[in-house]
Amino acid sequence: MVNIETVKAIGEAVETATDTDEWSQLWFTLVKEPWTTLVIVPAESDSSALGHARSLAEAGRRYQADSVDVIDAERITPSDVPEVLTTLAERSGNGVRVLVAVRSPLEHAAAIPVARACEAAVLAVRLGEAQMVASRRTIDTVGESLFIGSIVEPAELVL
C-alpha cells in the first residue's frame, strides 16, 4: 500500500531540524520550474529523503491554497511500483503537487521508475560526505534532464 501524507491535513505538526525560512526559499526556487510531481533522490545509500519531502511540503502548504502530498516510496518493492505510479498520476491529475521520497537508485532499483515518472527531481547530498562519483551516477541513472536543484545538508544531520 502506498503511504500518502497530505500536508494540508497535518499542517503545523511537521517539525524540521532546519530553519523553515530556508525550506520556504527552496520551495519558491523549485516552483519557478513547471512541475506537479517532484522526486527527492538521495545521493548516499544510507540517506533518507522523507524528512526533506515533508519539510518542503510544509513550506509549500504555507504559500499554496491547494494541498501538497508526500508519497513515501523509500521502502517499495518492484511489485509496488505500479501502485505508486498510479497513485502519483491520480494525485497530480487532481491538481495536487506531489513530492516523492525515494531511496538511492544506486542501491534500490525500484526507485528508478518512480523517479523517472516524476516531472522534476532534486538531489539530496550530505556536505562533506557525498562522493562526486555516486552523485554523478545517481543523476545519470535517474536522468540528468529531470534535476532542477539540490538539497545540501550538514554532515551531522541525519534524518
> Does some domain include residue 87?
yes
The candidate with the shortest Cα–Cα distance to 113, out of 91, 80, 145, is 80
- Give the rounded percent of residues in the chain with a pLDDT score beyond 70: 82
pLDDT surpasses 90 at 144? yes
pLDDT tens-digit readout, 18-66 = 457 889 999 999 999 999 999 999 998 888 999 999 999 999 988 875 6
Number of structural domains found in the chain: 1
The domain in which residue 34 lies consists of 1-8+19-105+136-144
Strands 68-72 and 120-126: unpaired
Is position 154 within any domain? no
pTM: 0.84
C-alpha dihedral over 105, 108, 113, 119, to 10 degrees?
-40
The pLDDT assigned to 95 comes to 82
The reported pLDDT for the residue numbered 49 is: 95
Q: Between 8 and 55, whose confidence is greater?
A: 55
* Angle CA 130–72–4, to nearest 5: 155
